[in-house]
Each structure stands twice: as C-alpha cells, then as structure tokens.
C-alpha cells in the first residue's frame, strides 16, 4: 500500500482498478492472451521491436549526419537496450508463462526497470530511466497503434490515472465507467478540476510523477475530499473508505430533503443559490439540487471538442434547452471565455496564455464569432429570463465595445423582425484586479456583476491557477484577495448593483460565513454544492457571519484565516468543517 498526496479538486471517494493514461495517451489495460494466441502475440511484439529498432537507427543516422557520431551514439545505446537478450527473455516469459498481452508485458517490465534506475543513487544512471521510458513509449506506440482505445469505449468501471487530462477529455469522460481520476499535473483552479466537479467525478490532481511505477490494473482509492490517492490499499483501508462512501450517501439523502426549501439564514435573510454549468444537460441537476437559477453558463464548452465550429443554430439550441429546463428561473449566459487555457492550443502559440488573447479579447478580435453568439442568446431571450455576462473585462473600452457589438446584433434582429427581449440585463465578470480598481466606473454601465475568484486569485497573486508547482500559493483566502472581494462588494452595494461570486470559492462551505459576512447575498456554485450550502445558510445568522468576516479581515495569512473559518464552520455545521 502506498499513499500519495495531491490537490483535492472534486469531492467523493472512488475505489476501482487503475487505468493508466500516460503523456501520450496510451492506456495499458491488464490483458491476457489466449494460450493458442501466444505465438502470434510474440510475433506481434517482435514486429514492433523491429519497427522501433528501424526508427531508432534512422534517427541515429540522421543525427550523426548533422551533429557527428558522438550524438548519434545516444541512439545506439537505445538500440542496444531494445535488443538486450535479457529484456527480450523477460517479455517472452511474461507472455508465455503469465499470458500477459505484449503491451502489458512491455509496460510492466520497462516501468520496473525505469524505477530501478530512478532509485539509484547515481545521477547519470538515474537519468537513464528517461531512455527506458522513451523506449517503452515507442514500443507501446507501435503495439497499440490503431488499437488505441478512446475513453468513450470503456466497458468496465475504472479509475483513470493520467499525466494530464484536458478539460475536453474530462468533459467527455463516461460517467458510467469512470469512477474517479488522478493526474500528475494540474492545480485547484484549472478547468479540468472545474469540469470534474461539475460532472461529480472524484478527482485529485497535481500528484507529481508517479505513473512510471505503475502498469495498470492495480486497485486504487481516490479520496477527492482530502486529495489522497492510495495505491494497492490494504483491507482495513478499503473498509474505512467503504464506510466513508456510505456515510456520504446518507448525508446526500439527508440534504435531499432541503431541495424545495429556500436558503434562508436563521435571522430570515434570503440567499440566492445559483449554479454553474458547462453543458445544457447539467440544467436538470441544477433543478434536482434545488438551485434558484443558473449564475454562470460557461458557453465556451460548446466549442471544446467540437469537430466543426458551432453555428448560430447550435448556440440557440443549447441556450433554448437550458432556459426551457430552468422553467422561469434566471439563466446567466456568459459569452465565450475561450483561450489557450481551455483549448490547450490557439491558432498561434502564446507564451503567456492567461495574459493573452483570451475571453472577451478573443471575442472582440473575432466579431463574426461574437455576433453569432450574441444573436443566438438574444433570440433565446424570449424563452425565459436571460442575462448576458462578459468575461475577463479589464478596461472600460472592453465593456463598451462588447455592449456596442450586442446593440448592433440586436438591431439586426429587430430589422429582420426576429423576436427578442429588449430588457435583457447585461453584466460583467470581475476577475481582474484592474476591474476592481475601476469598479465604480464599471458599475455605472452594467446591470450586475459576478466576481470570478478563480481568475481574480491568479491575477492578484500572480499564481497560475493550473500549475501544481505553485498550487500552495493559490489561496482563495489570501488577505489580498479578501480585500479585493470586500472592495468589490462594498462598491456594488453603494451603487445598488446586484453582485454575485461564481468562482469555485463560493461553493466551498469553508467560505460561506465569510462571504455572507462581507455582504454577499447571491452565490453561484457547482450544482453538487447547492444542497450543502443551503444547509449551511439555514444554520447561520448574518450578524454572526459579519462578526466572522470582521475578524478574518484582520488576519494576515490564508492559513490563519482558513484555520479560523474551519473552527467557526465546525461550530455551526460540524459535518462540513472537517476537510
């Protein structure tokens, strides 16, 4: 049994067999071959070895021709390793005696070898582990080739262990079979994490390198509540976690009874609990969870994974579905927040995607794309209460230009005799410190604001929200972030403009008292968080929250603030105050 610590990003516990997805996306299931297929499988392995050897020889010759024989020698070493008789004997033994598939035999053997090298107290030899990983990759590339399975073809429950999953890959995970996932990289604010929470798949990210030690098929526990991953757990640990899963089911069933009750504090203040969604199909779970509306619909997910660019009709159909499902409850549609962070790539490479052509900047640079979306939203506005929200606004010019494009698109609809609601509220996200600094000006030109703490934290603290190397610095309760939140809520109150918070922070029970104490009366959270937040709201009073916020605002570090908030939460709702 081995326990690894990572970053908890999507709560819940998953217990199941590991399926490995390494850097290249190869999955190495534990497969066995039939006795009478052993010779054919060995032949397949030999063919793969020959093909890889040919490739290495070609690389050696090309490199030697350009850089000299010494550089080419690296590849000769790879060739030697690949043809090493003891290695081949090991492969053959596993296939003949244990009936492992060649893929599984290769990955088992080479990962074990790589681990031995890695653990050597000799820098030069430890580096050779990379060569072994390289050879493994090449061999698996040949062996799996067209056989490479996609996530969508899973047929049995698994826990996915990957170097990384993009938001699109995560969005396409088949929830019937993916019990949970773990990634080597990633941080709490990344979009992969957000999608996992939306899909309610227990997940831990940012574990660091651990895949080389595994070959798939091992039993794994993903503890998405505490960011723990347990490999090959013992019986006692399995029993402990099974008990935790049961306790969670009991809590969920208990919370279900609150579904049709309002989120009202003990002193009678009504809190609006809205939900964040990425896909139209999630609207149903917002209703099931008793949300008051949708406070953030991340429409860029229409684009992620789409093979062709969505048309106006595609946009319209998605919005219409959400609005109809919500049956009269408000729906805040955020215009595209596309950028390299979500796409994983852009037409042209950017060195600093989070500071680049992202979000409203991309929409304003690509007006036809922006107009298609705005027309679709306005057309859908006759179906129910819709609000439009612009993301990542950092200057007044951004906001004014976006509103002008909207006015233009609306005028076109009017001229064409197409119906729309002329009173659609227009708001902006506050997620850049510049927007907070200028908020009094912005508030004169918008109908509402929503504070996007996921980005506000990263831009305030200069910490990439998806980077595990600095994940310990990505703190929602950093005093600097809290000051900006306080400043924004105070300005909105003075201007009498409704304000909400839709970053992941608002869905964390730990921060509910603080946020209400700072004056927030509307939160937008992942659908799964609605029931627990409702329970907490119904257990606290605004004067107490104000006292907690006042005290927290005097503190000097996130750690101190979190410890204090945990203590206070434990007093009013012990079931949520532990993680």
- Active-site residues, by number, are 191, 502
Q: Total number of residues binding ligand PEP (CB under 6 A)? A: 11
C-alpha to C-alpha distance for 393 and 380, rounded to whole angstroms: 24
CB 299, min distance to ligand PEP, A: 10
346 φ/ψ angles, rounded to the nearest 5 degrees: -130, 165
Site string for Mg ion, 385-424 (x = CB under 5 A): ----------------------------------------
Q: Which is nearer to Mg ion, 184 or 455 (CB)?
A: 455
CB of 293 within 8 A of CB of 331? yes
Contact between 184 and Mg ion per CB under 5 A: no
Strands 425-430 and 448-451: parallel
Site string for ligand PEP, 306-335 (x = CB under 6 A): ------------------------------
C-alpha to C-alpha distance for 283 and 279, rounded to whole angstroms: 8
Site string for ligand PEP, 435-474 (x = CB under 6 A): -----------------xxxx-------------------
One residue of 111, 274, 298, 534 binding ligand PEP per CB under 6 A: 298
Tokens at 377, concatenated = 């939203």
Contact between 503 and ligand PEP per CB under 6 A: yes
Tokens at 459, concatenated = 């831009």
One residue of 90, 136, 455, 464 binding Mg ion per CB under 5 A: 455
One residue of 90, 103, 223, 431 binding ligand PEP per CB under 6 A: 431
C-alpha to C-alpha distance for 573 and 378, rounded to whole angstroms: 42
Stretch that binds Mg ion, among 49-57, 71-79, 275-283, 428-436 (CB under 5 A): 428-436
CB 25, min distance to ligand PEP, A: 25
Q: Which is nearer to ligand PEP, 233 or 280 (CB)?
A: 280
Name beta bridge partners: 270.
Answer: 264
Stretch that binds Mg ion, among 360-368, 408-416, 437-445, 446-454 (CB under 5 A): 446-454
Q: Which is nearer to ligand PEP, 60 or 298 (CB)?
A: 298
Using DSSP's 3-state secondary structure scheme, residue 7 falls into strand
C-alpha to C-alpha distance for 51 and 224, rounded to whole angstroms: 42
CB of 454 within 8 A of CB of 503? yes
Q: Which is nearer to ligand PEP, 90 or 455 (CB)?
A: 455
CB of 138 within 8 A of CB of 103? no
CB 301, min distance to ligand PEP, A: 10
CB 390, min distance to Mg ion, A: 11
The total number of residues shown for the chain amounts to 579
Q: Which does 502 bind (CB under 5 to 8 A by kind): Mg ion, ligand PEP, none?
A: ligand PEP
Q: Which is nearer to Mg ion, 508 or 532 (CB)?
A: 508
C-alpha to C-alpha distance for 12 and 316, rounded to whole angstroms: 34
Residue 374 CB: number of other CB atoms within 10 A? 26
CB 453, min distance to ligand PEP, A: 5
CB of 190 within 8 A of CB of 169? no
Q: Which is nearer to Mg ion, 278 or 431 (CB)?
A: 431
Helix (H) or strand (E) holding 362: helix 360-365
Sign of torsion over alpha carbons 256, 260, 263, 267: negative
Q: Which is nearer to ligand PEP, 459 or 576 (CB)?
A: 459
Contact between 452 and Mg ion per CB under 5 A: yes
C-alpha to C-alpha distance for 151 and 169, rounded to whole angstroms: 8
Q: Which does 453 bind (CB under 5 to 8 A by kind): ligand PEP, Mg ion, none?
A: ligand PEP
CB of 537 within 8 A of CB of 286? no
Distances (CA, A) of 351 to 144, 321, 356, 464, 555: 33, 37, 8, 13, 36
Contact between 278 and Mg ion per CB under 5 A: no
Q: Which does 298 bind (CB under 5 to 8 A by kind): ligand PEP, Mg ion, none?
A: ligand PEP
- Tell me which residues in 333-352 interact with ligand PEP (CB under 6 A): 337
CB of 354 within 8 A of CB of 335? no
CA nearest neighbour of 189 among 413, 374, 463, 392 = 463
Residues that bind Mg ion (CB under 5 A): 431, 452, 455
Residues that bind ligand PEP (CB under 6 A): 194, 296, 298, 337, 431, 452-455, 502-503
């Amino acid at each position: 049994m081995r326990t690894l610590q990572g970053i908890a990003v999507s709560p819940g516990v998953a217990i199941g067999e590991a399926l490995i997805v390494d850097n290249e996306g190869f999955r190495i299931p534990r497969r066995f071959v039939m006795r009478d297929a052993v010779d054919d499988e060995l032949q397949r392995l030999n063919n793969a070895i020959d093909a890889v050897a040919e490739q290495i020889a070609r690389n050696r010759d090309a490199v030697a021709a350009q850089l000299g024989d010494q550089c080419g020698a690296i590849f000769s070493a790879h060739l030697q390793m690949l043809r090493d008789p003891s290695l081949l004997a090991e492969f053959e033994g596993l296939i003949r005696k244990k009936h492992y598939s060649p893929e599984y035999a290769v990955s088992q053997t080479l990962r074990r070898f790589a681990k031995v090298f890695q653990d050597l107290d000799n820098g030069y030899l430890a580096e050779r582990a990379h060569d072994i990983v390289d050879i493994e990759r090449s061999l698996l590339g040949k062996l799996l080739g067209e056989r490479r399975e996609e996530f969508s073809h899973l047929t049995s429950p698994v826990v996915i262990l990957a170097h990384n999953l993009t938001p699109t890959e995560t969005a396409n995970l088949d929830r019937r079979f993916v019990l949970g996932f773990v990634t080597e990289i990633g941080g709490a604010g990344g979009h992969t994490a957000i999608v996992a929470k939306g899909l309610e798949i227990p997940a831990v990210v940012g574990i660091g390198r651990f895949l080389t030690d595994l070959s798939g098929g091992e039993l794994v526990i993903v503890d998405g509540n505490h960011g723990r991953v347990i490999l090959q757990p013992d019986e006692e640990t399995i029993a402990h976690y099974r008990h935790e899963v049961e306790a969670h089911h009991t809590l969920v069933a208990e919370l279900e009874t609150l579904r049709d009750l309002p989120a009202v504090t003990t002193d009678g203040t009504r809190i609006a609990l809205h939900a964040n969604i990425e896909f139209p199909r999630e609207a149903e779970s917002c209703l099931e969870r008793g949300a008051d509306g949708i406070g953030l619909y991340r429409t860029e997910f229409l684009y992620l994974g789409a093979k062709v660019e969505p048309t106006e009709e595609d946009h319209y159909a998605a919005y219409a579905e959400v609005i109809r499902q919500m049956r009269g409850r408000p729906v805040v549609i955020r215009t595209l927040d596309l950028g390299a962070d979500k796409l994983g790539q852009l037409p042209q490479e950017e060195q600093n995607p989070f500071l680049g052509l992202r979000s409203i900047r991309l929409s304003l640079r690509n007006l036809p794309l922006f107009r298609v979306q705005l027309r679709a939203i306005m057309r859908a506005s006759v179906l129910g209460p819709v609000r439009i929200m612009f993301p990542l606004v950092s200057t007044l010019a951004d906001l004014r230009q976006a509103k002008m494009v909207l006015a233009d698109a609306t005028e076109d609809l009017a001229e064409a005799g197409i119906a729309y609601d002329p009173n659609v509220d227009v708001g902006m996200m506050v997620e850049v410190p510049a927007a907070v600094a200028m908020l009094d000006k912005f508030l004169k030109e918008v109908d509402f604001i929503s504070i996007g703490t996921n980005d506000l934290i990263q831009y305030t603290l200069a910490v990439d929200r998806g980077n595990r190397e600095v994940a310990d610095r990505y703190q929602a309760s950093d005093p600097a972030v809290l000051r900006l939140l306080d400043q924004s809520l105070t300005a909105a109150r003075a201007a009498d403009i409704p304000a909400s918070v839709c970053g992941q922070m608002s869905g964390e029970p730990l921060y509910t008292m603080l946020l209400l104490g700072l004056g927030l009366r509307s939160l937008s959270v992942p659908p799964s968080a609605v029931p627990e937040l409702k329970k907490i709201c119904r257990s606290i009073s605004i004067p107490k929250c104000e006292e907690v916020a006042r005290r927290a605002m005097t503190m000097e570090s996130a750690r101190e603030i979190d410890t204090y908030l945990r203590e206070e939460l434990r007093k009013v709702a012990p079931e949520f105050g532990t993680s």
